[in-house]
Each structure stands twice: as C-alpha cells, then as structure tokens.
Structure 1
Amino acid sequence: MNYIEYVANPHCQCAIVAHRGLWNEAPESGLLSIRRAMEAGYNVVEIDVRRTADGEFALLHDSTLDRMAGIDKTPEELTLEELISLR
C-alpha cells in the first residue's frame, strides 16, 4: 500500500513514521535505512529529495551539508559526483 492509499484508508487511524528511515541502524535517508524501517514495520518512511547542480536527485534531510559533511553549501550547489565524494 502506498502513502496515499494508507492515509485514505478509514481503517488506518494512525501512521507510524520513520523520519529519515531507521537512521540509528543505517545512514539516514539511505536505501538501507529505508529498507530497515520497512522491515521493522513502520507504516511510512519520510525522506527529503533534493536536486543537485547537475539536475540529479539526492536523498538528504538537511537544506545544507553542514551537519552531515561539515561544509557550508547546499546540495543544489554540488553535482551528484561531488556529493558522493563527500562520504
């Protein structure tokens, strides 16, 4: 069931949401944290999708890279390759 179907279903009175996936078990907003949240039984996994300078998409919660990478830039200022190199 997708999110729209879930919230439209009158039998679903409450949704348990994993914000950024199950970030305490895997890198936040990553595919593994999303998968782990689904396996753990969360009803909804909330993620943020950002556009990179080269028009690609990246999953990143924050509007800047300061907390995750220690640099004062936004994902929109870097290419996907540059973002990946920050690991």
Structure 2
Amino acid sequence: MYRIVQESITNAIRHGHATAVRVRIAAEERRLGITVTDNGCGCTKIEPGFGLRHMRERLKLLNGTLKVKSENGFELHAEISLRWGDVYD
C-alpha cells in the first residue's frame, strides 16, 4: 500500500501538475482502504501506463481492488483485506 501511495503522489505531481494531494487511510470491517485525491488537471480519458498497471498487479496479488476517476483532478482508491487476528496452521 505504501508503494501505491508513493506512485499516486508521483503521478499527481508529474502528470496532473497538482499543487495539493490528500491521502486518506481507513480500516473498516477487515478492509484497508487508501484514497488519494489531487487538485491537478485530471484527464478526459484514463489510459493506464506502467504505474497504474503495476498498482493493479500488486493489488491483484493481495485480492485487492483499484478504482480511479478524474473529475476536477484525479482520485484513486485502493483496497485490500486485512488478516488481523487470523490463525494459520
């Protein structure tokens, strides 16, 4: 999840020319969600490059999800399951 936040901030600055980035982290019902929003220029059509594809691949390995949208900037939401307290034999 750290790498997803890192890549999201990099993309916001490099591609969106954002001057502000907000990172929200929430754990609810055994799920960890991270939402990164920026005030950058956004885009009309999201075309996944190396960064977004790599994020999806990492999350897929963890049975996670990735959602992106571009309205008045860019927003990315990543979510994975948490395994706190699980017992493994």
TM-score by structure 2 length? 0.26
Name whichever structure is richer in helix by fraction: 1
Higher relative contact order (CA 8 A, sep 6+): 2
Select the structure of larger CA radius of gyration.
1
TM-score by structure 1 length? 0.27
Name whichever structure is richer in strand by fraction: 2
